[in-house]
Structure 1
């Protein structure tokens, strides 16, 4: 869950807002941490929530048991692929290595032209400031070309608003 003061309430806000807009929440399938908080809030708001979780995490007893749909898969790679297939856009809250892996996977698929699916980074307490700096450094060094599919926002409401203003175009 991390040590930042506001992520749980931000995760709950994100889940609730997704449900209130009539959108489905597709996420990593855990019932704990920020993922669990977002899923619970979406469910409480009457939303449909689809979880995609690797068998190993089910064995560790972290799978959410009250979802609209829970898909158990064999690997993290398969989890990411299904999440990308089912989603039109992505919202990333502060998280760990898995979160960064998912963000970079979506950015890579966008950069290679496999799809155009924007990712909004909810920059709670400046969490993604150093990531934004890294991308700028990669750009200066000629290793990254910025695209309009990465969105920075102060909170979930702003992220959802910005995403809703974008066209969804998938080749």
Structure 2
């Protein structure tokens, strides 16, 4: 059973145009607060990111924001967070978010959200961490992506074990339960250090 003390959430800095996404985002924020799970995210007060953070804060939850210095000029930084970390670059930002989180969830977003999600899945695939990774598939947002992943399995580019690293659900509580029960697979032999 995984102790989810903090969860890093990857999500968009835009609001999108689907009211169901906003509704589910607010549900996630209030649920994290109610379950005393610290939210770790990209520190913006705009878009899905801002909605998630503000909902969590309004419900008396803890929110940690991590943002590279150069993005402070481009994104509207949320100054009311529990903790705000500023990094020198994107790589440091992602490393810090990974280090201070016990798990990850992707909400709808754009290129940045996908990049963060797939990097953390790749790190899990390589055995660099054993933390659960969830995909909240709100209103079928990620159906096409999941179809592509299934094609990757069928065509022999993705093993079923690695495909199953991504925990998927449309319901917040069900996804968190899957994450708590996640058990990371054995690290491939070719990745283990040679101790002979």
Length-normalised TM-score, structure 2:
0.81
Instruction: Return the alpha-carbon distance in structure 2 between the equivalents of residues 32 and 123 of structure 1.
Output: 21
The Cα shift of 1:61 comes to 4.5
Instruction: Return the alpha-carbon distance in structure 2 between the equivalents of residues 121 and 54 of structure 1.
Output: 24
> For 1:72, what is the secondary structure of its paired residue?
strand
Pick aligned residue for 1:123 from 137, 147, 154: 137
> For 1:121, what is the secondary structure of its paired residue?
strand
Instruction: Return the alpha-carbon distance in structure 2 between the equivalents of residues 79 and 155 of structure 1.
Output: 28
Pick aligned residue for 1:29 from 43, 46, 52: 43
Alignment of 1:149-168 (within 5 A): 149-167=165-183
The Cα shift of 1:156 comes to 2.0
The residue aligned with 1:112 is 126
Structure 1 unaligned segments of length 5 or more: list them.
none
> For 1:50, what is the secondary structure of its paired residue?
strand
Structure 2 unaligned segments of length 5 or more: list them.
1-14, 188-196
The residue aligned with 2:32 is 18
| Larger RCO (CA within 8 A; separation ≥ 6) | 2
Instruction: Return the alpha-carbon distance in structure 2 between the equivalents of residues 50 and 82 of structure 1.
Output: 11
Length-normalised TM-score, structure 1:
0.92
Contact kept, 8 Å, 1:52 with 1:71, in 2: the verdict is yes
CA distances 1:5-48 after superposition (whole Å, capped 9, x unpaired)? 21112111111111111111011111111111111111111111
The residue aligned with 2:86 is 72
Query: Which structure would you say has the larger Rg?
Result: 2
> For 2:55, what is the secondary structure of its paired residue?
helix
> For 1:83, what is the secondary structure of its paired residue?
helix
Q: How many residues align?
A: 170
Structure 1, 43-52 or 53-62: larger mean CA deviation:
53-62
The residue aligned with 2:12 is none
Q: Over the residues paired in the alignment, what is the CA RMSD in angstroms?
A: 1.8
The Cα shift of 1:104 comes to 0.1
